[in-house]
Amino acid sequence: MRFTEHELTAALHGAAKSVLAAQDRSVRKGRRTIDQAWDELDRYQRFKLLDGLGGQVLPALIALPDVDVAAGERPTFTDQQVRAAVEERMEAGSGLRRRALLEARVALVRTALASLPPRQDPDALIVPDHL
C-alpha cells in the first residue's frame, strides 16, 4: 500500500500511544490521559519508543496490498490481509513464542491502521493567493 509520510507518521504515533497506555499505570488507572503521558515524555524517550515500534509496524504497513481509497475515507483491510502482511515480514520460526509475537504485531498493525487520518484529495490542493 502506498501511504504518505504523514499517514505513516500518524499510524506509528497511534501505535506508540497504545503501547504507552498499556505500560503506564496512571493512564490505565484513569488518573491522566494518554496525551498527557505522551507530552511528559522527553524527545529521547519518544524516539526510543517510535524507533522500536517502527521496525515492527512500518514493514507490515508497506506490505499491505494496494487498495483504492476515496478522498475523506480511510483504507480498510481484511484480517487475512493484515495477518499475511505481518507474517511475510516476520523471521522464520515456529512454536508458541512466534505465534504470540505474530498476534502482538497484528494487534499493533491494526491499532496503527485505526490511527490513520482520512485520505486527503490531492486535486483539492488550495494554494494561497499570495504565492
> Does residue 131 register a pLDDT over 80?
no
3-state SS record for the chain: CCCCHHHHHHHHHHHHHHHHHHHCHHHHCCCCCHHHHHHHCCHHHHHHHHHHHHHHHHHHHHHCCCCCCCCCCCCCCCHHHHHHHHHHHCCCCCCHHHHHHHHHHHHHHHHHHHCCCCCCCHHHCCCCCCC
Mean pLDDT lowest among 6-15, 25-34, 43-52, 78-87: 25-34
Half-sphere exposure of 55 (CA within 13 A, CB side): 7
> Does residue 94 register a pLDDT over 90?
no
> Does residue 122 register a pLDDT over 70?
no
Q: Whole-angstrom distance between the N-terminal and C-terminal Cα of the chain?
A: 33
pTM (global) more than 0.85: no
In degrees, rounded to 5, the angle at the alpha carbon of residue 71 between the alpha carbons of residues 70 and 75 is 55
What's the mean pLDDT when you consider all of the chain?
Answer: 88
> Does residue 72 register a pLDDT over 70?
yes
- Mean pLDDT for the stretch of residues 117-130: 72
